[in-house]
Structure 1
Amino acid sequence: MNNQRIDWPTFIGAFILLIAVTVPLVLFPEAGKEFVSMANTFLTTNFGVFYLAMGLIVFAFLMYVAFSKNGHVKLGEEGQKPEFNSFSWAAMLFAAGIGSSILYWSVIEWVYYYQGPPFGIEAESNEAIQWATAYGIFHWGPIAWAIYTLPALPIAYFYYVRKKPVLKVSEAVRPVLGQWVDGPIGKLIDVLFIFGLLGGAGTTLALGTPMIAEGVHHLTGIPVTLGMQAVIMLICTVIFAISAYSGLQKGIKLLSDVNLWLALFILAFILIFGPTRFIIETTFNAVGILLDNFFKMATWVEPFGNLAGFNETGFPEGWTVFYWAWWLVYAPFVGLFVARISRGRTIREMIIGTMVYGTLGCVLFFGIMGNFGLHLQLTGQFDAIGYMDANGPAATIIAVIGQLPLPNLMIFLFTVLAIIFLATTFDSSSFILASVVQKEVGDEPFRWNRLFWAFTLCIMPLVLMFLGGLDTLQTASIVGGFPLIFIMFLLAWSFMRASNRDITASDDYESPTIHIKRWKKKKKKSALEVLKEKDPDKKND
């Protein structure tokens, strides 16, 4: 029976936690918002250094694993080719990990850094411009993708090497926690993951839907209302529900491929018909600033506050700590999805590929779209800052795209891309949520299960959107995701313990897959056969 393969305690537990958080926000929106905001400020202010340290440690750990003996391990059978070609693989992991948020922030994030720069730099100065071009790439760069990649290691290892038919975060820490994962602790780990993903998904919708609505408004003249945004959200839900229902090969892969080709076309159009030289040189310069100041940016926490004449900006807590917390909430989901699509690749290929493809994609978006908007501002062709103050971020994004040649066509394509990006994030999310609440997963979770989570992902943000509580839910998910810092270290420890044990037990670094197969075969031998192997003289007895 299908129902017997559903992990009902996790399924129901996730719903109870979601209702426990959502209902108070619905009944007492102002008080709930204030409480969640205070909790978030407390965490980011007092524990911000833990988030930053976690990011650096995870990055260093993955670099070590990639080039160690553990990195040679094949995720699957020896000689097995990757399930997806590199283009489709990169498209799926990028679409799942970034979504429509990249379209939102890549166009306007520089505005915030330009007006509120780091390191006590004067706002809107020449130095502020330099940092404004680099900080977006940093926040969406190697550390972000390292945080995403870490959970993929133990999950992929157990699923493809040890052949455990389970895609759960709790199962991935079994080598450390042992039988504890079969009890309340394991359920709590999975429930926290689901809650974080639902909150993160709600915020992705909160960013993407108004942007799509502004695009529709520009093209049709229909005013932006909550009703229009609700219709857009439902249309996106139907798209990603169909994709999730169709499965990895026919749905998610196809939609991700279309998504990446359309994104590349828009980026190429802006690069060719926009200020080409300015975009290339500014992006190149920004990458240089990032490489030269990587560790400074990754460890800056303003320890002196306002003491001794120092000017406390709140930048680390407001941006870097917040982003690391945000990637952390999404990390188990992206890790689960990356693990699922990485069959046939080595651990090294999965680590380096995810970090390189993910970072490169973000560099292209921030370098091309962000610097196009910056050029408009600096040359006086379009006052993006003034327009955003008057009309808000979503309208400004569409207005910036409207400065391109063939503005209506480009806004149409940009809006379609935003819809597809939103859909590719959510079809991946519903696929993984369905996997987590099953005791066993074959090639794919049950279709009804995928459809259920596809619509669940929409209903809760839809209700909160009308109540104006999406921002509060985003903050609540980050507060609830704080324990994931410790789970990340458990995941790293679990992977090293399991893979080192298998590698040590194999001969001459023989593939752990072959070793595990041989070990399982031996377990099936009769006691007499084992005795004969140990003492050949008894084989004729």
Structure 2
Amino acid sequence: MNRKLIDWPTFIASFVILLGVVIPLVIFPEKGEALVNRINDFVSGSFGFLYLIMGLGIFFFLIFVAFSQNGHVKLGEKDEKPEFGTASWAGMLFSAGIGSSILYWATIEWAYYYQGPPFGVDPTESQLETLQWASTYGIFHWGPIAWAIYTLPAIPMAYFFYVRKTPVIKISETLRPILGQTSDSFIGRIIDVLFIFGLLGGAGTTLALGTPLITAGVSDLTGLEDTMTLRTIILLGVTVIFAVSSYLGLKEGIKRLSDFNLALAIFLLIFVFVTGPTLFIAEASTNSIGLILDNFFHMSTWTEPFANFDQFNETGFPEAWTVFYWAWWLVYAPFVGLFIARISRGRTIRQVIVGTIVYGSLGCVLFFGIMGNFGLYLQLTGAYDIVSVLNEQGAPVAIITIINQLPFAKFMVLVFVLLSVVFLATTFDSSSYILASVTQHEVEDGEPERWNRLFWAFTLCILPLTLMFLGGLGTLQTASIVGGFPLIFIMFLLGWSFMRASTGDLKADDKFRRKTVVLDYKRIREKIRQRRQKRKGKTEQDQNDE
């Protein structure tokens, strides 16, 4: 164990600040929850438009970068091949980016929009419009803008690590072209700590969704009662899986787990598509893609500006869903960006941008299109009243109920539970790997210290587990989103820092190449002159001999 490699101020400050938020929530849960919710309502209500502008701005900024001269830069040596194959690379970034949350929301999110559609649509009067938006909005929230938010931090981090050869991947280090020596100061530490705090809170949300879902599946398979004891056992079991995977490292642990996860996910989607209402799923998914293309800018910028007037009803939809999702992606963005950067060696910046947005969005389209529309079909045909189960027994039970409507129901519930466990484990071993990297001064051989990886693996479990018993997990997640508000401005700085560094390097390389060409041209001209003189001298000598 090399303790000199650890960035102890960042390491300790991150843990202390997290405890500083968790302990008051433990001692004063009701007051703490009320305070955090008030701050969250103020931020989302007063600055929600900033999140929407940020999402749209990042998407078009990355499209510009991908097809500019900056997009041709390779992350590594010029003749270097990608470290991971395309399938493994896509599987790892997808698993790290969405985790078990995709199984949760892809299967049931439509039911929330079915009861409270966007744009002030009345579900009792405009049922067709309600159904179309219910099938569509989840794909939008998990689509290109979400993956663009993830991709932005990855580009400068990968550039500095693989092109400029910085010894560690950190947000503060990536901002050095803008902040200068300030990156090593208190401000740089605060930036890194905010990232870690946001990640821990976002990870808590994933645990909050994933653990009850897995428990509901286990309860359905075994007949055991869904209790806190069972949830604790399952959470600890998942922790052991991702701790071992994180301990083994990127290639031996995370890659293999991700490959298995991808294969299992493909099997689930194909099975549901083939044995379910195939034609309805295909047509509804196609229709949803068309709706998004037609209404992309409206959906990206809808803010309900007239809701404060008495004659108009406020739905609260943008703040409750779109702003919330953009804030959630933002909190997770530095982590996912760091992970994408770490696995993208040997690819060009264009390949990273286009690949992440396309593969990530495509995976979410498949999950929401197949799993979501299968549940919606059950509701429409009266085969099962999913909405009633959701409202009376909660989302985890409703999700398992949907899976139980498939052929070979118990086997498919087993597959679904296993996939949830692997998805959750893949996300968290990636998280612990990145947290360990951020809290080190230097990452030797591309791998952070093993004890450091294990520490953050169990930290990711213990703190959410404590809050799960106390019922404050949702409050921690809300607090992390509020704490992630400054990341809006940090994202702007990341884009600026990358363009400043990469464009400057490209200009320097171009200047060097031009200088080299001029020197080569001069050398060639000099050789030609010398040859002419030599031939001229030889001719004169021949004439004298005659």
* TM over 0.5, shorter chain: yes
Matched letter for residue 469 of structure 1: G
Matches within 5 A, 1:158-173: 158-173=160-175
The answer on 1:355 being equivalent to 2:343 is no
| Alpha-carbon separation, structure 2, partners of 1:41 and 1:387 | 29
| Alpha-carbon separation, structure 1, partners of 2:479 and 2:350 | 35
Unaligned regions of 5+ residues in structure 2, if any? 517-546
Matched letter for residue 17 of structure 2: L
Bigger shift: 14-23 or 301-310? 301-310
Matched letter for residue 135 of structure 2: T
- Which residue number in structure 2 is paired with residue 44 of structure 1? 44
- Which residue number in structure 1 is paired with residue 314 of structure 2? 312
- Which residue number in structure 2 is paired with residue 507 of structure 1? 510
SS at match of 1:129: helix
Bigger CA radius of gyration? 2
- Which residue number in structure 2 is paired with residue 539 of structure 1? none
Matched letter for residue 483 of structure 2: G
Matched letter for residue 188 of structure 2: G
Percent identity of the aligned residues? 66
- Which residue number in structure 2 is paired with residue 233 of structure 1? 235
- Which residue number in structure 2 is paired with residue 530 of structure 1? none
Aligned-pair CA distance for 1:389 = 1.4
- Which residue number in structure 1 is paired with residue 73 of structure 2? 73
Cα offsets for 1:126-176 (capped at 9, x unmatched): 111011111000000000000000001110000000000111111010000
- Which residue number in structure 2 is paired with residue 523 of structure 1? none
Matches within 5 A, 1:288-299: 288-299=290-301
Matches within 5 A, 1:134-533: 134-307=136-309, 309-442=311-444, 443-507=446-510
| Alpha-carbon separation, structure 2, partners of 1:26 and 1:386 | 33
- Which residue number in structure 1 is paired with residue 31 of structure 2? 31
Distance verdict in 2 for CA 1:506–1:250, change over 3 Å: same
SS at match of 2:383: coil
Matched letter for residue 182 of structure 1: D
Matched letter for residue 405 of structure 1: P
Aligned-pair CA distance for 1:306 = 4.2
Aligned-pair CA distance for 1:16 = 1.2
| Alpha-carbon separation, structure 2, partners of 1:468 and 1:304 | 36
Aligned length, in residue pairs: 512
| Alpha-carbon separation, structure 1, partners of 2:392 and 2:513 | 64
Aligned-pair CA distance for 1:292 = 0.5
| Alpha-carbon separation, structure 2, partners of 1:309 and 1:429 | 47
| Alpha-carbon separation, structure 2, partners of 1:63 and 1:287 | 20
Partners of 1:306 and 1:312 within 8 A in 2? yes
Unaligned regions of 5+ residues in structure 1, if any? 515-541
Distance verdict in 2 for CA 1:493–1:268, change over 3 Å: same
Aligned-pair CA distance for 1:311 = 2.1
Matches within 5 A, 1:64-103: 64-103=64-103
Partners of 1:93 and 1:338 within 8 A in 2? yes
Matched letter for residue 359 of structure 1: S
Cα offsets for 1:196-215 (capped at 9, x unmatched): 00001011000000000000
Partners of 1:76 and 1:160 within 8 A in 2? yes
| Alpha-carbon separation, structure 2, partners of 1:42 and 1:223 | 40
Partners of 1:503 and 1:510 within 8 A in 2? no
Cα offsets for 1:93-113 (capped at 9, x unmatched): 000000000000001100111
- Which residue number in structure 1 is paired with residue 535 of structure 2? none
SS at match of 2:405: coil
SS at match of 1:137: helix
| Alpha-carbon separation, structure 2, partners of 1:73 and 1:352 | 14
Aligned-pair CA distance for 1:428 = 0.3
- Which residue number in structure 1 is paired with residue 529 of structure 2? none
| Alpha-carbon separation, structure 1, partners of 2:259 and 2:342 | 17
SS at match of 1:309: coil
Matched letter for residue 384 of structure 1: I
Aligned-pair CA distance for 1:310 = 2.2
Distance verdict in 2 for CA 1:492–1:509, change over 3 Å: farther
Matched letter for residue 334 of structure 2: P
| Alpha-carbon separation, structure 1, partners of 2:442 and 2:427 | 23
Aligned-pair CA distance for 1:509 = 9.3
| Alpha-carbon separation, structure 2, partners of 1:281 and 1:50 | 35
Matched letter for residue 40 of structure 1: N
| Alpha-carbon separation, structure 1, partners of 2:512 and 2:387 | 58
Matched letter for residue 465 of structure 1: M
SS at match of 1:409: helix
Partners of 1:215 and 1:415 within 8 A in 2? yes
The answer on 1:119 being equivalent to 2:119 is yes
Aligned-pair CA distance for 1:504 = 0.3
Aligned-pair CA distance for 1:427 = 0.4
- Which residue number in structure 2 is paired with residue 21 of structure 1? 21
Distance verdict in 2 for CA 1:400–1:506, change over 3 Å: same
Matched letter for residue 451 of structure 2: W
Aligned-pair CA distance for 1:270 = 0.2
Partners of 1:49 and 1:301 within 8 A in 2? yes
Cα offsets for 1:2-37 (capped at 9, x unmatched): 101100000001011101100000000000000000
Matched letter for residue 490 of structure 2: I
| Alpha-carbon separation, structure 1, partners of 2:113 and 2:76 | 44
TM-score between the two structures when normalised by the length of structure 1: 0.94
